[in-house]
Amino acid sequence: MNSCKVCDNDLKNIVNFGPMPISNRFLPAPPEEEFLYELSVGFCSECYMVQLEKTVDPEMMFNENYAFFSSTSKKMENHFDEMAEDILEIIANQTSPFVIEIGCNDGIMLKNIAKRGIHHLGMEPSGNVAERARENGVEVFTGFFNGKSALDIMEKHGEADVISGANVMCHIENINSVLEGAAVLLKNDGVMFFEDPYLLDIVKKTSFDQIYDEHVFYFCGLSISELAQRNGLQLVDMAAQGVHGGSMRYFLKKGSKNRVSENVTRHISAEREFNLHTLDGYLSFQKKVNKISADLRKMLVALKEQGQRIAAYGATSKSTTLLNFSKIGPELIDYICDTTPTKIGKYTPGTHIPIKSHQHFQTDSPPYTLLLAWNHQKEIFAKELEYRKKGGKFITFFPGINIK
Ligand code: DWN
Ligand code: SAH
Ligand code: ZN
């Protein structure tokens, strides 16, 4: 039996994907053998946390060769400019504020704080992206945030007014230690906030590609409220974010007697309506996953049989789950185009599809393109007006297969 990483209760299995490679480990050449682990998700009926049953060593995922650079999307640049504005508002009345970001990546958000001369620190274990943040004027400590590093930060920099994190808290297995550390590191009136893909959106859309090695947890208000309480914090507000296919931002404060926004009650009621507090809410998930996966493969096979060529767009980490589980490889997809220089020329983990540049897509664009970066659809469609005008079609797959 697997046990809950928050409360040690037994987990109930929700979905299995079988053996998977490391999602962001793009390969210089198709290898003989690859590291694989079993990807499956379980639910804890005690604290409502949905989580991976087996996890991968963080250092295998977050190191000098981390493949994802946050600043590859214009929309995300704007999103993080706005987040920085939100932080400036929170600290507006503080005399010498201190802002921490966990998982600052290439500095996409924190550079906005740094350029205003505000005392700040980014915690980032992946050395290559941390270096890019430094080039962007951000002070970064290359390392993992946890209870211990929280104490080290406090000793060196003092207490924090804001601790923020985007798409990182759900990556950290020892989550109790992180929140415990944050509770110590925060000023009495400080705020911790973080955002991650929202479980209710994942369940509603069956967007199962959000499930991969890096995403240890799938948060919702129910589970974050419990998690906060267990670690001396309180969930005081929630705000839905229209990024990464549906995300939720959670605001936490110290203690248990803060004013709690009605947004928390509203979102948690919606989660209860979908039965996210019992195993019932997840009973049909595997069946829906299997159907989308089978339907997608069937459509790609049919197109190939008609003699069509198919490309894909965005060598995302999440597509590692979709491609491996649906058995979609180079026999169906000619290549994936991506703008990240360090991904170009490499092969996808497990399925070994070649990754090519955006210029390649512009000169050699097949009639069909699988939109792997579906969370950036708006931005990509705006960029690919010409492709669609000439009759090029994008294939999407959540909540079902669609040709656009
Ligand atoms: O949680 C995580 C999120 C924030 O980022 C991490 N665990 C890892 C990563 O997940 P992902 O790889 O699924 O993220 P994206 O943002 O969906 O990746 C988009 C990919 O598509 C990047 O490789 C960049 C590429 N891209 C492109 O080639 N052309 C993106 C856009 C917008 C484009 O126009
Ligand atoms: N915040 C960025 C990056 C998300 S990708 C964005 O939203 O685009 C996840 C990032 O978290 C990676 O850069 C990874 O190196 C970092 N990370 C993983 N575990 C971490 C930990 N324990 N502490 C701090 N950062 C961590
Ligand atoms: Zn639990």
Task: Identify the pLDDT of residue 105.
Answer: 98
Sequence-distant (≥ 6) Cβ neighbours of residue 354 within 8 angstroms: 330, 335, 336, 345, 346, 347
Mutation pick for ligand 1 pocket among 313, 316, 323, 386 (CB with most ligand atoms within 8 Å) = 316
- Residues of the chain with pLDDT > 90, as a percent, come to 99
Residue type, 308: Q
Mean pLDDT of 5-27: 98
| pLDDT value at 165 more than 90 | yes
Segment 25-68, tens digit of pLDDT:
999 999 989 999 999 999 999 999 999 999 999 999 999 999 99
Closest alpha carbon to 194 in 235, 151, 157, 154: 235
Task: Identify the pLDDT of residue 207.
Answer: 98
Mean pLDDT of 152-160: 97
**Beta strands across the sheet bearing 217-218:** 12-20, 37-43, 50-52, 217-218
Sequence-distant (≥ 6) Cβ neighbours of residue 220 within 8 angstroms: 48, 50, 198, 199, 200, 248, 267, 268, 271, 276
Cα distance from N-terminal residue to C-terminal residue, the chain: 43
Let me know: does 184 contact 150? Beta carbons within 8 Å.
yes
Q: No. of H helices and E strands in the chain?
A: 14, 17
Task: Identify the pLDDT of residue 264.
Answer: 98
Mutation pick for ligand 2 pocket among 105, 146, 174, 194 (CB with most ligand atoms within 8 Å) = 105
Residues with CB under 6 A from ligand 2: 58, 62, 66, 68, 70, 102-103, 105, 108, 123-126, 129, 144-145, 166-168, 171-172
The CA 163 to ligand 3 mean position distance, Å, reads 24
Average pLDDT, the chain: 98
Mean pLDDT of 119-143: 98
| pLDDT value at 202 more than 90 | yes
Mutation pick for ligand 2 pocket among 126, 168, 375 (CB with most ligand atoms within 8 Å) = 168
Mean pLDDT of 133-144: 98
Which band of pLDDT confidence, cut at 50, 70 and 90, is reported for residue 160? very high
Mean pLDDT of 349-375: 98
Let me know: does 357 contact 345? Beta carbons within 8 Å.
no
Task: Identify the pLDDT of residue 226.
Answer: 98
Segment 67-108, tens digit of pLDDT:
999 999 999 999 999 999 999 999 999 999 999 999 999 999
Task: Identify the pLDDT of residue 252.
Answer: 98
| pLDDT value at 316 more than 90 | yes
Closest alpha carbon to 103 in 172, 192, 173: 172
Sequence-distant (≥ 6) Cβ neighbours of residue 127 within 8 angstroms: 63, 64, 66, 142
Alpha helix locations (H) across 186-284?
199-205, 221-230, 262-273
Segment 240-292, tens digit of pLDDT:
999 999 999 999 999 999 999 999 999 999 999 999 999 999 999 999 999 99
Mean pLDDT of 3-17: 98
Distance, in Å, from the CA atom of 37 to the CA atom of 18, rounded to the nearest integer, reads: 8
Mean pLDDT of 99-125: 98
The CA 215 to ligand 1 mean position distance, Å, reads 14
Backbone φ and ψ of 63, nearest 5°: -155, -165
Task: Identify the pLDDT of residue 1.
Answer: 83
